[in-house]
Chain A
Amino acid sequence: MLKKMSNFFISGFIFSLGLNVAQVNNPETIFGFIKLQNPIQMDLLIVFGSAVLFSFLGFKYLTQIHHEAKSTLVNKKFILGSILFGAGWGISGLCPGTAISAIANLDLNLLVFILSMMVGILLTDYFFNKECS
């Protein structure tokens, strides 16, 4: 029990620390890339790309993951969800992980975003009642 709790705590701590060190929890880092204004700021792409690469290497060499089932379902709901998510991310410069990792700023707008996001997640989950992947 205590071991399990500390695993979850450490994982959340490390993940959030990484988002802070890479500064991707600053909306300006997101806007600097997605606005595609000259010069395009590549920070987001570098962080995302290398995090995926490290994750790929980690999963490949540090875990036994190849037996894990992968959900392959791609339906209208999945497509619509991804588009809605991208729109909200593009407007605010915030996604769930980066928003929470910036919470120490105690900004009212940030707290409003997190609360609103929770409402969106819980309402959708309630009405569609799906298992999560």
Chain B
Amino acid sequence: MADFARSDAYLSALLQEVHSVGAARAPFTIGRRSFFKLTGAGVAGLVLGFHLGDTAFAAEPANGNDAANQAMNAFIRIAPDNTITIYSKCPEIGQGIKTSFGVIIAEELDADWAHVVMEQADINPKVYGSQGAGGSTSIPRAWNQLRQAGAGAKAMLVAAAAQAWSGDPSQITTRDSVLTHTASGRSATYGSLAAAAAKMPVPDPKSLKLKTRAEYRLIGKRYRGVDDPKVVSGQPLFGIDVQRPGMVYATYTKCPAAGGKVKSFNADEIKRQPGVLDAFAIEGTGLVVEVMPGVAIIARDTWSAFQAREKLRVDWDLGEASTDSTSHFSALAKEVAASFPQKADDNVGDVDKSFANAAKTVEAYYEYPFAAHVPLEPMNTTAHWHDGIMELWVPTQQPDRGLPLIGKVAGVVPEKVVMHQTRVGGGFGRRLVNDYACEAAAIALKVDAPVKLQWSREDDFAHDFYRPAGYHQFKGAIDRGGRLDAWQEHFITFTADGKKEASGANLTDNLRYSIKAPNLRRGKTMFPLKIPTGAWRAPGDNAQVFAAQSFMHELSLASGRDHVEFLLDAVNRDVPELAPKDASVNFSPKRATDVIKMCADKAGWGKTLPKGSGLGLAWCYSHAGHVAQAVELSVDADKSIRIARIVVVLDVGPIINMAGSEAQAQGASTDALSTAMGLKITIENGRIREQNYNSYPILRMPFAPMNIDAYFIQSDNPPTGMGEPAFPALAPALGNAIFAATGERVRKLPLRDLGYSLAA
């Protein structure tokens, strides 16, 4: 367990899942097996949901502690009044999953969307399988499971109708939650036949015929978020909104330098502060993903806890605390960059020979900084230790991974941990780690009431799992035909354990499929780092694609060829050693080609632009999506950038919710622009200098683009999530456009540090 809890494991597991997407066999096995095992056979949720279709329907979903209640927690319930309740098993973090999951089930169920009610399921991996949201994997992992759930339920309804009307199931059609017998013209609502349907045998999922894309009536349309009515009227939804009778409030103060321990603190003075109920130190488990040492202050409201904390004086033991410093890392990286490591990680062809024979070689050094997630809802969890049960309300992206850790902290078996999912005010990867939930559990053990742990924004900046900085020394060769012939990359990154890369600091496999040089060599140098790092929206890709695709542009310029032509040539190069070994990886040169071509086309590639203007393009394969992005802009004398247009073209398989997908494409592009322009985290002597949004200038509306044109190439490939793919290629497209406009190459982020700004 301890090993699993290392933050690194989260990312590697996540990435593995990403690569599994699209496989015919591997990806869903684990989730499905446990799901089926519980229920014996078939699409369990439905059956049981139907059982509840009668009198018991009004019951609230229970907590999942006994067999009967687990059963209640499945996907679908149909009420006699024909209201269909669908449970969304994964966290809603803004990616729109609660809506999309409903649409997927409702599609196969032929449900009337107007009468579908979406509910958040509680956490019970035994029933639901994987219940995380990360790596844009919620949709791909749930795709078949949800469709089978819908189709299975429909089959049972059809069977019930056939029995009632003594007809042939094949003559019964379904539409908008109504069953019709074509021959006799008899019809009935789903609600009226739900109880009967529940008694039908559960169909074998293999026997279910799922719809083809042409048959979709719901999938692909525009939907507003199912929670939107509550969001716009301020109804309680988020973790921070949870209120329990008798609830008290807590802050938790950890050492500002990661790894510091509490020696002592001014407990008496703190306990005397107005509104304070208690204060105590917690030793914690010493793991950053669980509970680090700190001081908890319990008060009658959040403000009293915050106020008292200003008086808190902790004597920290800094023996094992971080003394990391970003300026030191940058200086060091530059020093070691030129000496390629002894041992290469990848070695294809003969790079040295290629360099010797090259028509042209190009060298460049790229760097990007640490970054924080800082979703707008600060970390929080409400926990209640009662009756030997640890009950929590957690805004998290990975409840299923948090559950055993919380059990460990609380000293109970996972079955005694009851986790309620709340809506999540932004994830971006931050909430893949459940540290704040573990802290809440540790605090709740010592408090005789429900307790809401509320992090301040300053806590959030100081104790994130940062996107690691990175430094890349590239050398590339162009052959006499003007093609990419060699690619050498020295990646300077970080390690927490001295063995493998720190979380989020590994060179992503996605880049392997993008950079098809017949001679390729990669090696890395790792600096030890104590500051915790983690997955950050499109982990790895979010910054590495900037470096790689900017350098690709440099190479295309050296080749004297058109950038798009150069890219297409490289993408379609056949280098067997660089082909995906894992059959589940869905990287496709054809799909890459299509998005690049369409993006160039939509952006007006090749058109003549006035002096000072430029068009830049980049692409990536990220989180099973194929994406190209283009930016048209002008730059004036004082380096003020005016964005004329942003185009993003994605092939992520079929689109479930067009409104939501567009929003993700625009949101991720906006986030990428914001991050590239201005965001960086500075570490000094193990402490994070940025404390709040005043020093971390997330893009504001006056500087945001007026529009971002999103286009989708819809395919029959299995869908992937939309939370991440539209992020990585924006920064290099921006840098390439700046080069086109000014002749100045952007090799460092954020652009603010190079004197660039967005025009007002």
A binds B: no
B residues near A (Cβ < 8 Å) are none
A residues near B (Cβ < 8 Å) are none
